[in-house]
Amino acid sequence: MDLGVKGKKVLVTAASKGLGKACAKAYAEEGAQVFIASRNKAQLDRAANEIIEQTGNANVEAIVCDLTKSQDIENMMQSIGRVDILINNAGGPPAGKFNDFDDADWQHAFELLLMNIIRTVRAVTPAMREQQFGRIVNITSSSMKQALDGLLLSNTFRPAIVGLSKSLSQELASDQILINSVGPGTMETDRIRDIYKQQPSDESVEERLNKAGTNIPIGRIGQPEEFAKAILFLGSAANTYITGQTLIVDGGAMKTL
Ligand code: NAD
């Protein structure tokens, strides 16, 4: 299938590693012009070089941006100009229960998970409307559908992204701008390893990751590249009629309808 992303300008935020980087690589493999953003320049440059090396696509550019800062987002958008395909990703919020968080924690999670998307969508949609083409995909979490134990901030803001995206899908569809949200189940990235490391256990992280996989119908946890395939299709010209939807990529783990 021709995905129609060759030459398209794609921005993947929070893409120096993990799911964001895998998505950026998937677009680079398809010949897109890819911009990756995150806070740490050295890590970001390493990711860009790795993607260029692995895909043979030299059109991969790294842009330093802290997604919790409106000025950073504005600067990033100005330096990129028109964006055809926007993949919104961000770092995950810390784990914890209600009494663990103060106002600053709530504000930070709001800026990181929700406000970041509002700002990037605001920046990209004028040009998308003009050219009558745009694809936006939000990387969220399975918590957009079912609350996760000990992840209160995620459980609060991920469903808000779904509400925002559904409303936006209605406003943007007549200009051929499609927006969807994709939630990972358990994918093998630093984020998951860090969460496992924080949990006291006699078993190694590796052992526990393998064990976690046995509770998933597919029989293992997922790889970032498997997640990226879903993003790539939804955020491509080949997707012509899916908008305002949520998709969970979790090997069949969740039982909600
Ligand atoms: P990761 O920790 O491997 O990568 C996170 C990326 O976000 C990094 O590039 C980091 O530099 C960047 N980042 C963090 N804070 C940022 C900020 N303020 N500004 C700019 N960039 C920032 O995480 P991941 O596993 O790839 O997860 C990506 C998203 O998916 C997260 O929101 C995470 O909560 C969510 N998620 C992941 C899983 C999973 O199984 N991996 C499951 C559920 C949800």
pLDDT at 195 over 90: no
94 secondary structure, DSSP code: P
For residue 66, give the amino acid letter.
D
Pull the structure tokens for residue 112.
Answer: 């990181």
Answer yes or no: is the C-beta of 139 below 6 A from any ligand 1 atom: yes
Chain segment 121-135, per-residue pLDDT in tens: 999 999 999 999 999
Locate tokens 């398809």: which residue?
30
Q: Which residues contact 63 (CB under 8 A, 6 or more apart)?
A: 35, 36, 37, 44, 76, 79, 80
Answer yes or no: is the C-beta of 18 below 6 A from any ligand 1 atom: yes
Q: Within 10 Å of residue 66's Cβ, how many Cβ atoms?
A: 17
Separation of first and last alpha carbons in the chain: 29
Distance between CA 4 and CA 113 in Å, rounded? 29
Phi then psi for residue 136, to 5 deg, are: -130, 130
Structural element, H or E, at residue 43: helix 41-55
Distance from Cα 131 to the centre of ligand 1, integer Å:
31
Domains plus CATH for the chain?
A: 9-187+223-249 (3.40.50.720), 188-221 (no CATH)
Q: CA 49 from chain center: how many Å?
A: 20
Confidence at residue 25, expressed as pLDDT on a 0 to 100 scale: 98
Which atom of ligand 1 lies at the shortest distance from residue 92's CA?
34
Chain segment 60-73, per-residue pLDDT in tens: 999 999 999 999 99
Structural element, H or E, at residue 201: none
Distance from Cα 245 to the centre of ligand 1, integer Å:
21
Nearest-CA neighbor of 88 among 180, 9, 153?
180
Which atom of ligand 1 lies at the shortest distance from residue 15's CA?
9
Distance from Cα 132 to the centre of ligand 1, integer Å:
30
Answer yes or no: is the C-beta of 138 below 6 A from any ligand 1 atom: no
Distance from Cα 39 to the centre of ligand 1, integer Å:
12
pTM for the full predicted model: 0.98
Chain segment 199-255, per-residue pLDDT in tens: 889 999 999 999 999 999 999 999 999 999 999 999 999 999 999 999 999 999 999
Distance from Cα 40 to the centre of ligand 1, integer Å:
13
For atom 15 of ligand 1, which residue has the closest CA? Answer: 91
Phi then psi for residue 225, to 5 deg, are: -65, -30
pLDDT at 23 over 90: yes
Nearest-CA neighbor of 189 among 117, 57, 106, 89?
89
Distance from Cα 232 to the centre of ligand 1, integer Å:
17
Distance between CA 30 and CA 175 in Å, rounded? 25
Answer yes or no: is the C-beta of 94 below 6 A from any ligand 1 atom: no
